[in-house]
Amino acid sequence: MKEKKRYTITAALPYANGPLHLGHLAGAYLPADIFVRYLKAKGNDVAFICGSDEHGAAITLRAKKEGCTPQEIVDKNHEIIKKSFSNFGIDFDIYHRTSSKLHHETASDFFKNLYEKGSFTQETTEQFFDQEHQQFLADRYVTGTCPKCNSAGAYGDQCEKCGSSLSPTDLINPISTLSGKTPVLKETTHWFLPMNKHEKWLKTWIETGVLDGKQQHNPSEWRKQVIGQCKSWIDNGLQPRSITRDLDWGVKVPVDGADGKVLYVWFDAPIGYISATKQWAADNGKNWEDYWKDNNTQLIHFIGKDNIVFHGIIFPIILKEHGDFILPTNVPANEFLNLEGDKISTSRNWAVWLHEYLEDFPNKQDELRYVLTSIAPETKDSEFTWKDFQARVNNELVAIFGNFVNRSLVLTHKYFEGKVPSQGTLTEYDKEVLSSITSTQHKVYELIATYRFRDAQTEAMTLARLGNKYLADTEPWKLIKTDEERVKTILNISLQLCNALSIIFEPFLPYTSKKLKGFLNSNASELNSGHQLNQPELLFEKIEDEAIEAQIEKLKKISSPAPSKGGETTFPLGRVGDGTNPKAKPMKDEITFDDFIKMDIRVATILAAEKHPDADKLLKLTVDTGIDVRTVVSGIAEHYKPEDVVGKQVSMLVNLAPRKIRGIESKGMILMAENNEGSLAFISPEKAMDNGGEVR
């Protein structure tokens, strides 16, 4: 494939619903930034595009909860996120936002274009409708009991407890979050993208890289997991997807009779890349179409693995359907970053937030960049631990890179008043070391070009290693007593290495690069003899054990419920938010005693238990309710083994209407308590009771 010169690089639009954590940075933004810095260093024409994704029901809900407008929510988060990026040196050409006028116009035009082409189908379906507020409820506006894990408070699109995606009508006991009442089903019309029509060309494109009969990209350069997941979707048959929603926060559907409808976020958000590019082009005297409609432009999307389908299938369909637009030449998706042995979870607060990191480690953004690149989840999930962070900073950045620079500069100041000494006759060794500068740079750039950022950074570090070895081998501190001319050459070469490091490390460690160029007092690709250096400081500082222990402590403390203090006998009562468990679900609406006594809850004993033959999460239980012996199917298989539950006395709702679950009729429901982490416990009488005893 011929070398292309223009690039449009996008990084996933962060959802403006909260701040950023380590996983975000490692997954998409850092690799994108490294790639862009490399491209720019090579003189390519690059547009590095990102922005806040500010629509969607999750944001309107949050606004409601916090008693402010959606705009206020996204304004606040947009600033926090934008600041995190700029603090960490993620150097977007534009960081735009989807709430902007330009984006609304762009997304709206896009929809209209496809609508007029007949790219969509229209379907009327039943959706929940809040009669009191006279409006349809977006998925997020309906809560209820999750049909999968039974936890209360699941949203209509997703249960945050068990992570399964849902449809609002799946919810048990659905409640409108607007009025708190049970919504009714009412017909509404929405537009769908018939993805099934695009299977054929997508399959060819994903598998071979051929689009419209032309080789568009080389699939062997795509990561396995990206091709694998896209193929998996295509081979299983694509379904039409609804691309509009009944909601008042978002891009209005630009069609008559679509009042109260907006574009669904995943249709609207990727178009945000385009509107951001338009804004950037307008601000900088460029033509945005060069970056989206020219076959000589490479479009590359940096994302996390949760976004593969949108960028590998859905957005390409939209772009191709529109026509004129180029399709991505690559979608380098990273896997996930785990944290101290657990997956990162914002709801459990098991995360390291970027803005908090900088408070605890001021001016250490490159240290984090370095470590996150070293452990980047490029081919599989990887793990961040604070201990590892400390080790990599201390043993690599400080001991190898910082130390070499410091040695070179200190010796030069000591022997030559901080002036770059001249090169004399070069030995074979000198020549080898000098030539390794260019060979290292080539290797590093080649690795970056193939999205192997981790290897690229390691390669860069070997040049600093070589520097240390060079000094150890040539021992200028000894030679200075006998052969000052030789020492001049040695230090000249050492300083050239330092200078090269400042250039080669720039994509990875921009702050350090700048700092080092400051020490060297140079921006040039080589240092001339006689050039005056500045007084150096330390490039990196060691991270002490205490700082690391404090982080580990912090993580454990904030993520687990506060322990109750001994001796304390009274608790503040009544005020919301004063509870001992801040993560407890809010109380449901008040009911009457009559409502309550409709439920017939009894003590029952589990007589037998076996795994449901056709399901992973279900146990088939035989229970003695005192009234009868019956079968109950319960979703507890991930928490209890069959042999562990036999003989247990439990509480059971016995007059619940029977229902077939995965082929087995279940009569009743075993009551379970759930804690913050989603683990379950039986509600058992504290002493043995008669089966059939009422629970009141």
Q: Which of residues 403-462 bind RNA (CB under 7 A)?
A: 403-404, 406-407, 410-411, 414, 454-455, 458
H or E segment to which residue 213 belongs: none
Q: Between residues 63 and 480, which has the closer beta carbon with respect to RNA? A: 480
- Do 337 and 350 contact (CB within 8 A), yes or no? no
Q: Between residues 32 and 371, which has the closer beta carbon with respect to RNA? A: 371
CB of 647 to RNA, least distance (A): 20
- Do 239 and 195 contact (CB within 8 A), yes or no? yes
Structure tokens of 173?
């006991």
CB of 511 to RNA, least distance (A): 14
Q: Number of residues in contact with RNA, rule: CB under 7 A?
A: 85
CB of 541 to RNA, least distance (A): 5
Question: For RNA, which residue of 2, 101, 224, 565 counts as binding (CB under 7 A)?
Answer: 224
Q: Between residues 66 and 342, which has the closer beta carbon with respect to RNA? A: 342
Question: For RNA, which residue of 473, 484, 485, 578 counts as binding (CB under 7 A)?
Answer: 473
Q: Between residues 91 and 160, which has the closer beta carbon with respect to RNA? A: 160
Residues 6+ apart with CB under 8 A from 518: 534
Question: For RNA, which residue of 64, 133, 322, 343 counts as binding (CB under 7 A)?
Answer: 343
Burial call 546-564: b when 16+ CB within 10 Å, e when fewer: eebeebeeebeeebeeeee
Q: Between residues 273 and 310, which has the closer beta carbon with respect to RNA? A: 310
Residues 6+ apart with CB under 8 A from 97: 16, 51, 52, 54, 74, 78, 103, 272
Residue numbers 622-641 binding RNA by CB under 7 A: 632-635
Residues 6+ apart with CB under 8 A from 113: 322
Q: Between residues 70 and 316, which has the closer beta carbon with respect to RNA? A: 316
Structure tokens of 107?
């997304």
Count of all residues that appear for the chain in the document: 696
Q: Using CB under 7 A, which of the segments 183-191, 284-292, 506-514, 655-663 binds RNA?
A: 655-663
CB of 133 to RNA, least distance (A): 26
Q: Between residues 547 and 615, which has the closer beta carbon with respect to RNA? A: 615
Interaction of residue 340 with RNA, rule CB under 7 A: no
Residue numbers 4-23 binding RNA by CB under 7 A: none
Q: Using CB under 7 A, which of the segments 80-88, 89-97, 139-147, 562-570 binds RNA?
A: 139-147
Interaction of residue 106 with RNA, rule CB under 7 A: no
Q: Using CB under 7 A, which of the segments 156-164, 257-265, 293-301, 642-650 binds RNA?
A: 156-164
CB of 304 to RNA, least distance (A): 10
Q: Between residues 51 and 635, which has the closer beta carbon with respect to RNA? A: 635
CB of 664 to RNA, least distance (A): 8
Distance CA 554, CA 552 (A): 5
Q: Between residues 64 and 413, which has the closer beta carbon with respect to RNA? A: 413
Interaction of residue 145 with RNA, rule CB under 7 A: yes
Q: Closest by alpha carbon to 35, among 508, 517, 502, 511?
A: 508
Question: For RNA, which residue of 71, 121, 131, 165 counts as binding (CB under 7 A)?
Answer: 165
Residue numbers 359-388 binding RNA by CB under 7 A: 374-375, 377-383, 388
Q: Between residues 276 and 344, which has the closer beta carbon with respect to RNA? A: 344
Q: For every residue of 117-132, which 3-state class applies, written as one string?
A: HCCCEEEEEEEEEECC
CB of 479 to RNA, least distance (A): 11
- Do 561 and 581 contact (CB within 8 A), yes or no? yes
CB of 609 to RNA, least distance (A): 13
Interaction of residue 345 with RNA, rule CB under 7 A: no
Residue numbers 518-557 binding RNA by CB under 7 A: 538-542
Query: Concatenated DSSP letters for 29-93?
Result: IHHHHHHHHHHHHTT-EEEEEEEEB--SHHHHHHHHHHTS-HHHHHHHHHHHHHHHHHHTT---S
Give the helix ranges, DSSP H, for 160-313: 199-208, 224-235, 265-284, 308-309
Give the helix ranges, DSSP H, for 88-127: 101-117
Interaction of residue 336 with RNA, rule CB under 7 A: yes
Q: Using CB under 7 A, which of the segments 93-101, 320-328, 465-473, 498-506 binds RNA?
A: 465-473
Q: How many CA atoms are closer than 13 Å to the CA of 87, on its beta-carbon side?
A: 22
Question: For RNA, which residue of 122, 131, 232, 679 counts as binding (CB under 7 A)?
Answer: 232
Interaction of residue 152 with RNA, rule CB under 7 A: no
The partner residues of 666 in beta bridges, in order of sequence, read: 659
Pairing of strands 297-304, 6-11: parallel
- The owner of tokens 């700092």 is 515
Question: For RNA, which residue of 53, 93, 396, 430 counts as binding (CB under 7 A)?
Answer: 396
CB of 172 to RNA, least distance (A): 4
H or E segment to which residue 342 belongs: strand 342-343
Q: For every residue of 359-407, which 3-state class applies, written as one string?
A: HHCCCCHHHHHHHHHHCCCCCCCEEECHHHHHHHHHHHHHHHHHHHHHH
78 burial class (0-12, 13-18, 19+ CB within 10 angstroms)? buried
CB of 306 to RNA, least distance (A): 6
CB of 17 to RNA, least distance (A): 17
Structure tokens of 499?
């200078």
Alpha-carbon 183 to chain mean position: 33
Distance CA 462, CA 538 (A): 20
Residue numbers 572-631 binding RNA by CB under 7 A: 612, 614-618
CB of 319 to RNA, least distance (A): 22
Instruction: Provide, for the chain, the percentages of residues in helix, strand and coil under a 3-state DSSP scheme, each rounded to the nearest 5.
Output: 40, 20, 40
Question: For RNA, which residue of 73, 666, 682, 691 counts as binding (CB under 7 A)?
Answer: 666
CB of 557 to RNA, least distance (A): 23
Q: Using CB under 7 A, which of the segments 188-196, 209-217, 401-409, 598-606 binds RNA?
A: 401-409
- Do 423 and 488 contact (CB within 8 A), yes or no? yes
CB atoms within 10 A of CB 663: 10
Question: For RNA, which residue of 181, 478, 583, 588 counts as binding (CB under 7 A)?
Answer: 478
Structure tokens of 668?
């009743």
CB of 472 to RNA, least distance (A): 4
Q: Closest by alpha carbon to 209, among 201, 224, 294?
A: 201
Interaction of residue 162 with RNA, rule CB under 7 A: yes
H or E segment to which residue 672 belongs: strand 672-674
CB of 43 to RNA, least distance (A): 28
Q: Between residues 124 and 220, which has the closer beta carbon with respect to RNA? A: 220
Residue numbers 240-299 binding RNA by CB under 7 A: none
